[in-house]
Amino acid sequence: MLDSFSRSAARRARRQYVGLMFRFMGHALEAISRFDKTVIDEARGMPDGLVFQMTVLPSGPALAIEHTGDGVLRYLGSRYDGPVDLSIRFKHLAHAFLVLSFQEKTVEAFANDRMVVDGDIALAVRMTRILNRLEAIILPRLIARRAIKEYPAELGLLEKLPGAIGVYRRVAFSMIRDLRKEALSQ
């Protein structure tokens, strides 16, 4: 009884963690596309108005972002249900958890058939590079090494620290704003 209770609590916690990480990544992508040249250059290669969604089958959580043009990414929230141009769908919440808790690299998840890609593969590859860059910048080096194939050699502390602090500050602001909005609307 207690056992099954704690198991379902663990499952709920895992779902909440994935949802929270998606939300964090959404805000972080928006923030990083305002100042990181690598991300901006990559994002510029995507069509204006492209909507990318990362989600967990069968029904979420999810993260949607839009390339509004000129390399700028906009977080569309966790409940976006409009048309999507490119999607990466995890087959199961457990798989999303493995990736988002840095136990499995994004490319490993691809190699392990953990997700289904729908849309232009070239754009999916580009999006993966953006996500890798995000992780390299915001995660401590030790954790980032577990999350991405190769830690960028040119990414020194000087570039990383202000970048990470910038992302965290912006993300903190917008996440608090989001949570407040949600609390008010409930």
Partner 1 sequence: MSRYYEFFCPVKVIAGEAALEHLPYELTSIASVRPMIVTDAGVRAAGLLEPVIAACTESDVTFAAIYDEVPPDSSTTTVREIANLYRQQQCDAIIAIGGGSSIDTAKAVNILVSEGGDDIAAYSGAGVLTRPLRPFFVVPTTAGTGSEVTSVAVIADTERSVKLPFTSSFLLPNAAIIDPRMTLTLPPHITAATAMDALTHATEAYTCLARNPLSDAYATAAIKKIGRSLLAVMDNPDDVQGRLDLAEASTMAGIAFSNSMVGLVHSLGHATGAICHLPHGLCMSLYLPYVLEYNLEDIREPLSELLLYLEGPEVWAATPASRRAETTISAVRHLRDELHHRCELPRTLRETGKVKQSQLDNIARQALDDGSIIYNPREASLKDVRSLLEKAWG
For helices 121-138 and 2-32, angle between their N-to-C axes, nearest 10 degrees: 100
Of residues 63, 148, 164, 171, which one binds partner 1 by CB under 8 A?
148
Options 21-29, 61-69, 116-124, 164-172: segment touching partner 1 (CB under 8 A): 116-124
Altogether, the residues listed in the chain come to a count of: 186
Amino acid at 32: I
Residue 161 touches partner 1, criterion: CB under 8 A:
no
Q: How far is the CB of 134 from partner 1 (least distance, A)?
A: 14
User: Is residue 45 involved in binding partner 1 (CB under 8 A)?
Assistant: yes
Amino acid at 130: I
| Number of helices and strands in the chain (H, E) | 7, 5
Q: How far is the CB of 100 from partner 1 (least distance, A)?
A: 17
Strand order in the sheet with 86-90: 72-77, 62-69, 51-56, 86-90, 115-118
Question: Does residue 55 touch partner 1 according to CB under 8 A?
Answer: no
Task: State yes or no: residue 3 binds partner 1 (CB under 8 A).
Answer: no
Choice between 62 and 98, CB closer to partner 1: 98
From 8-16, 19-27, 118-126, 161-169, span contacting partner 1 (CB under 8 A): 118-126
CB of 1 to partner 1, least distance (A): 32
DSSP H helices, 53-156, are: 93-100, 106-111, 121-138, 141-147
How many other C-beta atoms can be found within 10 angstroms of the C-beta atom of residue 29?
Answer: 24
Q: Of 126, 168, 138, which Cα lies nearest the Cα of 40?
A: 126
Q: Is 112 in the site for partner 1 (CB under 8 A)?
A: yes
Cβ nearer to partner 1, comparing 10 with 125: 125
Q: Which stretches of the chain bind partner 1, using CB under 8 A?
A: 45, 107-108, 110-114, 116-119, 121-126, 128, 132, 148-150
